[in-house]
Structure 1
Amino acid sequence: MAIKYILIFFVVIYLFVACSPKQDTTDVSITEVTFVKIESISMAKLAKLKFEDIYGFETDDLDMALRVFQKDCQKSAKNPNLSYVCSKSHNYTDGKTYFKTYFTPYKLYKTNGQKDGTLTGYYEPILKGSLRKTKKYRYPVLKVPKNKKIKKLSRAKLNKIKHKAENILFYTDNRVDPFFMEIQGSGKVKLTNGTILNVAYAGQNGKKFYPIGKKLLEIKAIKNKNMSLDAIRKWCEENPKDSQKLLNLNESKVYFSFSEFGATGSLGVPLVAKRNIAVDRRYVPLGFPVFVQSFNPYTKDSLNTLTIAADTGGAIKGEVRADFFWGTGKEALKYAGKMKDRLNMTILIPKVGYRR
């Protein structure tokens, strides 16, 4: 299932470092670019490149990228534009040879001819929980309510209801972690006996999403330069009486179910940390390789990585727009919660076998 609501909405939408990918040898003026359209694949403006013109491509772990592409081909091979290259991929272990043999790189541009977009990050959280309500574990994580009227209620109204056991998936020890899991769209729960279960998106109440980070900035509870997921969490912990009021400003409510698999994207395959991205499928079809050029959110070193588009998201709109999957747990949160930088995207399009 798609990661429906992305961390950007309330954390990194206020964080922006005005810089562009370093040493981007394709950085030419708009007047020097010859745009093409391949509407069977992308509605974006495209500019054909040579692989040697893509800074960082040769030094990336392309063998790893190939393995992820092969895995994702379990689903993406159904796309007639990818079926041929997917069938050939299993004959290769050398990613560099494979991608150069079967693909042509095209840089993505916005309608206005600009190549710079935005890269944010997301992750899979791990919650502590119990299948039974206890003094410690008393905050319910809900399944999709069978009663349609209840399903459509706002977050505030849902919090006032005494829910039937059949509508409760599990209980957790605080109200903030489930809220953040809703933003990510999936997660894991570690039960009191040590068992870890996968938690997947199952539905939503249809209400409008509100970025709570925006409110904290308005009331000057957090400074713009300090805004992060950890900052929001800390504020909620320090203001327990007001934290529920803050969360209730976001009327949108996500429901969950247990799943056999971990974080799974819209393509229908488990996501791989640092190798899968969420995209706007109008411009980047799921399953296509995309070379991402941006920055590490902490070190600010260049981030040049061949990824596979495997997910979508409510905040991921536009030609040059992506959400970078960092993985599971606290370390992934550290990067996802801070990431927002300028982005260049190069989509790899099959040389043969696609509908023109």
Structure 2
Amino acid sequence: MGGWARGVLAAILGSLAACSSLPPQVPAPVTSTTGSSPASTPAPGPAGPRWVAADWPDLPGWGRDDLLAAWPALLAGCQRPPRGWAEFCARAALMSPTDPMEAAALLMRHLRPWRLAADNGEATGLLTGYFEPQLAASRTRQGAFQWPVHALPADPALRRLPRRDIEANPRFAALELAYVDDAFGLLQLQIQGSGRLVMRDANGAERISRVAWAGHNDQPFQSVARALLDRGEVADATPRTLSDWARRNPARVRDAMAVNPRVVYFREEALPDTALGPRGALGVPLTPGRSVAVDKAFISLGTPLWLDSTEPLSTTPLRRLVLAQDTGSAITGAVRADLFWGWGDDAAQQASRTKQPLRLWALLPAGVTP
């Protein structure tokens, strides 16, 4: 966004902040906890977080994000709007902002920001990242393609076998959807719960399909990476480092994998549009860099959020509009988000490096309280 555009947006922001009123049912303002503007007494959220009514100037970096990049994710979330969002989503479907300034003005006209904090008032939480693995694969076991991706067994007793017993059981041969050439890539696929398989036919043409989570074997999860780290065999747990270790130690890979008895089963799906991410818990495709997993006990799926953090391994600010479109068992608490980085090696590296402090604001329709 150019300087002139930011100046116009700042004027809009100032006028809206000056004339805006707090949503109904919110107590009179008290001293701001941020020091930049008045804030309301915290309103209780669904499971105890503090929701503090804020003003647009409170959002660090507001006006500098390319909101047009987030608009498709916002419209996707409106396919399954949270309670109280029907009117805004009907309007959003008719809005066609042509630049980030216009998109910001539209949001400011119809939404209000609320700062999220833990029940004890702590406003700083944690940002992590996740991705969709993309692995080279083969329909047949050949050469380096030795690691099977399994479908869900129909027999419950067969389904619950630990990893080592699955590998030794001939009944699983009929359940092998494909074979990958990277054991730790397969492990990452099982941890993430979905991924892409890239296969080539006899003519060399590439075909990409998606495998989605279908269940697991009810065994406890144990971290293979943690075991290697504790023994000093790897310096970090990034996908690249683990795959490099496997290439240097091919005879030890199977025993290393057996540390984790849990196996995740998959179902294969067609992927007609490779630009679409996997479906999150909201039921819409995830958008790289714009979709986050949250704890839905505190934040309704579909809610737009303003994220204030830093880029991985950097002090460069990471401030952008994201959409709550997924959940995860490790994502707990009010100020907690897991950013979807996309698919492939670059996304894997970004996700593995994302572990930064986070501040979070929810954007709710005017008149809607948490």
TM-score band, normalised by the shorter chain?
Answer: 0.7 to 0.9
Find out whether 1:343 has 2:358 as its counterpart: yes
For residue 35 of structure 1, report the CA deviation from its aligned partner.
4.3
For residue 339 of structure 1, report the CA deviation from its aligned partner.
1.1
Q: Secondary structure at the match of 1:345?
A: strand
For residue 34 of structure 1, report the CA deviation from its aligned partner.
4.9
Show the counterpart of 2:346. 331
TM-score by length of 2: 0.81
Show the counterpart of 1:246. 256
Could you say if the C-alpha distance between residues 204 and 48 of structure 1 is closer, same or farther in structure 2, counting changes exceeding 3 Å? Answer: same
1:296 is aligned, of 299, 311, 327, to 311
Could you say if the C-alpha distance between residues 222 and 172 of structure 1 is closer, same or farther in structure 2, counting changes exceeding 3 Å? Answer: closer
For residue 222 of structure 1, report the CA deviation from its aligned partner.
3.0
Give, in whole Å, the separation in 1 of the partners of 2:93 and 2:208: 33
Could you say if the C-alpha distance between residues 238 and 136 of structure 1 is closer, same or farther in structure 2, counting changes exceeding 3 Å? Answer: closer
Give, in whole Å, the separation in 2 of the partners of 1:339 and 1:229: 13
Show the counterpart of 1:81. 84
Larger deviation, residues 232-241 vs 192-201? 232-241
Matches within 5 A, 1:201-280: 201-223=213-235, 226-261=236-271, 262-280=277-295
Matching residue's letter, 2:263: K
Q: After superposition, what is the alpha-carbon deviation per residue over 1:240-273, rounded to whole angstroms, capped at 9, x for unaligned?
A: 2332222222222111111245422111111111
For residue 175 of structure 1, report the CA deviation from its aligned partner.
2.0
Give, in whole Å, the separation in 1 of the partners of 2:314 and 2:352: 14
Show the counterpart of 1:71. 76
Show the counterpart of 1:190. 198
Show the counterpart of 2:22. none
For residue 211 of structure 1, report the CA deviation from its aligned partner.
2.3
Matching residue's letter, 2:72: R
For residue 201 of structure 1, report the CA deviation from its aligned partner.
1.2
Q: After superposition, what is the alpha-carbon deviation per residue over 1:118-152, rounded to whole angstroms, capped at 9, x for unaligned?
A: 11111111111112232442321001111111111
Give, in whole Å, the separation in 2 of the partners of 1:135 and 1:214: 29
For residue 314 of structure 1, report the CA deviation from its aligned partner.
1.5
Give, in whole Å, the separation in 2 of the partners of 1:311 and 1:199: 17
For residue 46 of structure 1, report the CA deviation from its aligned partner.
1.1
Contact 1:146–1:167, Cα closer than 8 Å, also in 2: no
Larger deviation, residues 62-71 vs 308-317? 62-71
Show the counterpart of 2:34. 28
Give, in whole Å, the separation in 2 of the partners of 1:50 and 1:102: 13
Give, in whole Å, the separation in 1 of the partners of 2:85 and 2:256: 45
Give, in whole Å, the separation in 1 of the partners of 2:266 and 2:76: 26
Matching residue's letter, 1:200: A
Give, in whole Å, the separation in 1 of the partners of 2:247 and 2:315: 30
Larger deviation, residues 322-331 vs 156-165? 156-165
Show the counterpart of 1:37. 43
> Max radius of gyration: which structure?
2
Q: Structure 2 regions of 5+ residues with no counterpart? A: 1-31, 98-102, 272-276
Contact 1:119–1:341, Cα closer than 8 Å, also in 2: yes
For residue 298 of structure 1, report the CA deviation from its aligned partner.
4.1
Q: Secondary structure at the match of 1:105?
A: strand
Find out whether 1:159 has 2:167 as its counterpart: yes
Matching residue's letter, 2:146: R
Greater relative CO, 1 or 2 (CA 8 Å, sep 6+):
1
Could you say if the C-alpha distance between residues 33 and 246 of structure 1 is closer, same or farther in structure 2, counting changes exceeding 3 Å? Answer: farther
- Identity over aligned pairs, percent: 28
Matches within 5 A, 1:306-321: 306-321=321-336
Give, in whole Å, the separation in 2 of the partners of 1:45 and 1:250: 38
Matching residue's letter, 1:152: R
Give, in whole Å, the separation in 2 of the partners of 1:251 and 1:277: 29
Q: Secondary structure at the match of 1:90?
A: helix
Q: After superposition, what is the alpha-carbon deviation per residue over 1:140-189, rounded to whole angstroms, capped at 9, x for unaligned?
A: 10011111111111222212222444411111223221111111111111
Aligned structure 1 segments of 4 or more residues deviating by more than 4 angstroms: 32-35
Find out whether 1:281 has 2:296 as its counterpart: yes
Could you say if the C-alpha distance between residues 355 and 109 of structure 1 is closer, same or farther in structure 2, counting changes exceeding 3 Å? Answer: closer
Find out whether 1:127 has 2:127 as its counterpart: no
Could you say if the C-alpha distance between residues 43 and 175 of structure 1 is closer, same or farther in structure 2, counting changes exceeding 3 Å? Answer: same
